[in-house]
Amino acid sequence: MEERWESQVNRQQAEFTERLNQERADAEERGKLRDQEFQERHSEAQQRAERVLAEERQRHADELAAVKALGDKLLADERQRAGEQLEQLRADQKRIADEFETLSRRALEVNSRQFLEQADERFKRSQDANKVALEQRELAVKQLVDPIAQSLDSVKAEVTNAEKARGEANAALTEQLATMRRSSEQLSSETRQLVTALRAPQVRGRWGELQLRRVVEASGMVNHVDFAEQESVNVDGGLVRPDMIVRIVGGKQVVVDSKVAFSGYLEALEAQDERIRAERLTAHARHLRKHIDDLGAKAYWDSVDGTPEFVVMFVPAEPFLAAALDEDPSLFEHAFERNVIIATPSTLIALLRTVGHVWKQERLAGEAKQIHDAGRELHKRLGTLGSHLTKLSKKINETVSAYNAFAGSLDRSLVTQARRFSGLQGVPDPIEAPMIIETAAVPPQKPELYSEKAEDDAREGSPALSAPTD
């Protein structure tokens, strides 16, 4: 019984499982069908949208063409209708003129004139009405056609501007390329000429001296004040000639030498083989090291008064020193050990500008001393002038006092008696009393500017004006 029940349960379970699997398969099949149907509907919708978009574009294009054609047709029709109306007006005018001519034979002169005025007025009203209608139709057509014409003109202008800009850009680019090619060819030619010229030792030496001169000029040093070129000095019983001696404030001097060999560097530039180029660069570094040894052995500081224990070795171009340092990085240390300072144009300019600044400060100090001396001399002369001025003030006041005494005595002794005599004779009094001077000469108000003698005179002051006495 249990086995039959279990068998029945197993059979139902198997049927349920089979039915479940069947429903799952049916669901998956329905899902695939729905996905396929969705894809088909999506594709159809996309195609339908593209067709609608294409149809809309075509419809807009057709409508635009139709509007343009309609505008042209309306304009032509209106022009034709206006022409027909004009012909009709002319015919009406002719007919009215004929009628007027016919009626004029039958009517009196007054009636004829009135009829003519009425006919003219009617013709004018008709002509004005037709003209207004024609202008309205032309305006309507113009409003339809003008936007299209403006769009076409705008597109045409943009295309023209784009073509013009492209042509100008191409022309400018072509000109720039041609200029660059010419500059490159000229630079190559000048470089070859310079390298060829620098092969000669005399030319190399002169070029180094010229570079040294340019560096000195760029630093603002003046030839007859701050440095001396090609000045011979006695070294170990023989005359040697440094390229430049820089004079420093206080009687100090710095020797500069520019006789640097760089033929190896030029040969390395022209070498096509890397091995040969490396050999020539090594030789270039070796030449610089040897020149350092030679300069150190000359010991200019023992022969040139006021020279510190070093000499400046001027390298005319930065690449010369850079190439040598690449091959021999210890060149600077080797030069320092032999009291040689390696200088390129940039470092020498900085050194010379420093010296020039010291000279400038020295000149400013000298000018300040001259100003101080001039001020002391001016103060001394002001003191002398003040002393004379004080003496003059005293003498003037003494003279004024003597004059006032004389005037008082004259007034009391002679003028009063003369007036009394004139009164007795009954004649006018022509005699005036002498004038008394009351203003005294003012002594100098700044005695501290004058000498001690002037200060003493100023402290004494001017004598008081005496009252008139007998």
Q: State the angle between helix axes of 2-106 and 109-197 in degrees (0 to 180), rounded to the nearest 10.
A: 130
Beta bridge partners of 235: 238
* Residue-level pLDDT at 461: 45
pTM above the 0.75 mark?
no
* Residue-level pLDDT at 333: 92
What spatial distance separates the first Cα and last Cα of the chain, rounded to whole Å? Answer: 187
| Domain segments of the chain as ranges | 57-171, 203-343, 370-460
Q: What is the mean pLDDT of residues 277-287?
A: 87
Comparison of pLDDT for 250 and 357, the residue scoring more: 357
Comparison of pLDDT for 227 and 22, the residue scoring more: 22
Q: What is the mean pLDDT of residues 158-186?
A: 72
* Residue-level pLDDT at 225: 37
Q: What is the mean pLDDT of residues 138-151?
A: 66
Classify the phi-psi angles of 343: left when phi > 0, otherwise alpha if psi is within -120 to 50, otherwise beta.
Answer: beta
d(CA 48, CA 34): 20
- Using alpha carbons, list the distances in angstroms from residue 339 to 260, 297, 304: 17, 10, 15
Comparison of pLDDT for 438 and 24, the residue scoring more: 24
d(CA 20, CA 14): 10
- Using alpha carbons, list the distances in angstroms from residue 87 to 90, 122, 149: 5, 17, 31
Task: Identify the band that residue 184 occupies on the pLDDT scale cut at 50, 70 and 90.
Answer: low
Q: Is the confidence at residue 224, as pLDDT, over 50?
A: no
Query: Please, what's the b/e burial string for 231-267 (b: 16 or more CB within 10 A of its CB; e: otherwise)?
Result: eebebeeeeeebbbbbbbeeeebbbbbbbbbbbbbbb
Element (H, E) at 348: helix 345-410
Element (H, E) at 313: strand 311-314
Mean pLDDT, the chain, rounded, equals 72
* Residue-level pLDDT at 85: 77
How many C-beta neighbours within 10 Å does residue 46 have? 10
Q: Is the confidence at residue 242, as pLDDT, over 80?
A: no
Q: State the angle between helix axes of 274-298 and 318-327 in degrees (0 to 180), rounded to the nearest 10.
A: 100
Q: Is the confidence at residue 470, as pLDDT, over 50?
A: no
| Sheet strands (E) in 315-419 | 340-343
Q: What phi and psi, each to the nearest 5 degrees, are found at residue 359?
A: -60, -40
Q: Quick check: helix, strand or coil at residue 433?
A: coil
Q: What is the mean pLDDT of residues 452-470?
A: 44
Tell me the fold of 203-343: Trna Endonuclease; Chain: A, domain 1 (3.40.1350)
d(CA 97, CA 99): 5
pLDDT, tens only, 372-383: 888 788 778 777
Q: State the angle between helix axes of 274-298 and 263-270 in degrees (0 to 180), rounded to the nearest 10.
A: 170
* Residue-level pLDDT at 436: 64
Highest mean pLDDT, choosing among 184-198, 257-271, 334-348: 334-348
- Residues 462 and 393 sit within 8 Å (Cβ to Cβ): yes
pLDDT, tens only, 109-127: 665 566 567 666 776 776 6
d(CA 243, CA 230): 5
Cα 94 from chain centroid (whole Å): 81
β-strand pairing of 340-343 with 311-314: parallel
d(CA 183, CA 173): 15
Among 3-7, 143-147, 273-277, the range scoring the smallest mean pLDDT is: 143-147
Among 122-126, 260-264, 278-282, the range scoring the smallest mean pLDDT is: 122-126
d(CA 444, CA 384): 12
Q: Quick check: helix, strand or coil at residue 428?
A: coil
How many C-beta neighbours within 10 Å does residue 203 have? 13
- Residues 234 and 266 sit within 8 Å (Cβ to Cβ): no
* Residue-level pLDDT at 226: 42
β-strand pairing of 233-235 with 252-257: unpaired
Q: What percent of the chain has pLDDT over 70?
A: 65
Order the strands of the 252-257 sheet from edge to edge: 227-229, 244-248, 252-257, 311-314, 340-343
* Residue-level pLDDT at 95: 79
Q: Is the confidence at residue 469, as pLDDT, over 50?
A: no
Q: Quick check: helix, strand or coil at residue 1?
A: coil
d(CA 87, CA 392): 123
Cα 451 from chain centroid (whole Å): 60
d(CA 322, CA 326): 6
How many C-beta neighbours within 10 Å does residue 454 have? 24
Q: Quick check: helix, strand or coil at residue 255?
A: strand
